[in-house]
Amino acid sequence: MEHYAGREEYAAPPIALVAAEVRLAYEPSLNEPGVRDAFGAVVRERFPVRRLETTSTVTFQMVPGAAPATEQTTSLRALTADQTLSGRLTPTGLTVETTRYSTFDDFSDAVRYLAAVTARLLPQAVVTHVGLRYINEIRAGRDVQPGDWARYLDPRLAGPLDLLPEATLNVLSGIAVFAPEDGVTATARWASHVGTVVAVPLKRQGDTSSPAFVLDFDALQELPVAAAIDAEEVAGSLRRLHHAIGTMFAASLTVDAHRLFRDDSPAVAPGGPVQEGTGK
């Protein structure tokens, strides 16, 4: 278990979505229906719901009069019975997403399992990057205005609120990208928002319509040497990325935000397990 400044467990964590990506070098067999079907068959016991998803990519030609080129790719999404956790095998790799996050160890175990299955089916596949993303939604009631978020945000994020004191703030947003360190690039995005923030084919719990402040953190590790999929190596990369994300999350909050997440809100079932914040 990791420890770093600001780490805390919460009864009502603000996590809306957690996603991990194991990006692979070009591998033609990922486009074969037989590989997708085999992946779905192996994980069926833990991920019984399966869906085929089609993505269209449009490329506009630079030649005058030439029609845009459209390319369609098909991927398989395998979901748990409650449809809050999925593994998606795409032509570019493996993506694991959840809208019902409990602990980092539990999520990492799911990624490790799906990576091991992918490695078994595609021993020739080569990993180039590993990514991790946490999208958090701070929700503090339906009457919250953009200017009210300063109560919950570190002044480094809320600074622009006072740029024009006599005016009403409509939107507060920002982005910070941190240069690679040990191969890891970290990005923080934040913005006020009203309504649904995360649109994924997974079921959501709790309020998704009230005003929210979004804290979106992701980290990406580029492997120094591309190598075959190793589930334990993937898990190790996730731990490094999680440390960077947790540090950014903890540094973004005020005492009032911590108090908000400690409260047992209706989104947490009475008697249910204590969930952790992104910072764990």
User: 254 with 190: CB under 8 angstroms?
Assistant: no
pLDDT range class, residue 106, cuts 50, 70, 90: very high
**Cβ–Cβ < 8 Å for 80, 46:** yes
Q: How confident is the model at residue 125 (pLDDT cuts 50, 70, 90)?
A: very high
Confidence of residue 279 (pLDDT cuts 50, 70, 90): very low
Strands 85-90 and 93-98: antiparallel
**Is there a domain that residue 2 lies in?**
no
Q: Is residue 168 domain-resident?
A: yes
Predicted pLDDT at 131: 98
Cβ atoms within 10 Å of 139's Cβ, excluding its own = 21
pTM: predicted TM-score of the whole model, two decimal places: 0.86
Residue 274 lies in a domain: no
pLDDT mean over 173-182 = 89
Give the residue from 196, 61, 186, 203 showing the smallest Cα distance to 131.
Answer: 186
Query: So what's the pLDDT on residue 267?
Result: 38
Query: CA 96 to CA 238: how far, in whole Å?
Result: 12
Average pLDDT over residues 48-62: 76
Domain that holds residue 255: 9-59+67-268
Average pLDDT over the chain, rounded to an integer = 85
Number of domains composing the chain: 1
Helices (H), the chain: 33-42, 104-121, 155-158, 231-251, 255-262
Give Cβ neighbours of residue 22 (< 8 Å, ≥ 6 apart).
93, 94, 95, 111, 115, 118, 127, 130, 229, 234
Q: Is 121 part of a structural domain of the chain?
A: yes
CA 78 to chain centre: 17
* Domain assignment of residue 4, yes or no: no
Checking if the pLDDT of 205 tops 70, the result is yes
**Residue 146 included in any domain:** yes
For the chain, the first-to-last Cα distance in angstroms comes to: 8
87 within 8 A of 116, measured Cβ to Cβ: no
Amino acid at residue number 65: G
Q: What token pair was written down for 153?
A: 């945000």
- DSSP state letters, 72-118: EEEEEEEE-TTSSEEEEEETTEEEEEESS---HHHHHHHHHHHHHHH
| Within a domain: 41 | yes
Instruction: Flag the least confident range among 2-6, 152-156, 183-187, 192-196.
Output: 2-6
Closest Cα to residue 24, out of 111, 79, 95? 95
Q: Considering the domain boundaries, does residue 111 fall inside one?
A: yes
Q: Check pLDDT > 90 for residue 145.
A: no
What is residue 3's predicted lDDT score, i.e. its pLDDT? 54
Look at residue 274 in the predicted model and tell me its pLDDT: 33
pLDDT tens figures, 61-98: 666 666 665 667 889 999 999 999 999 999 899 999 99
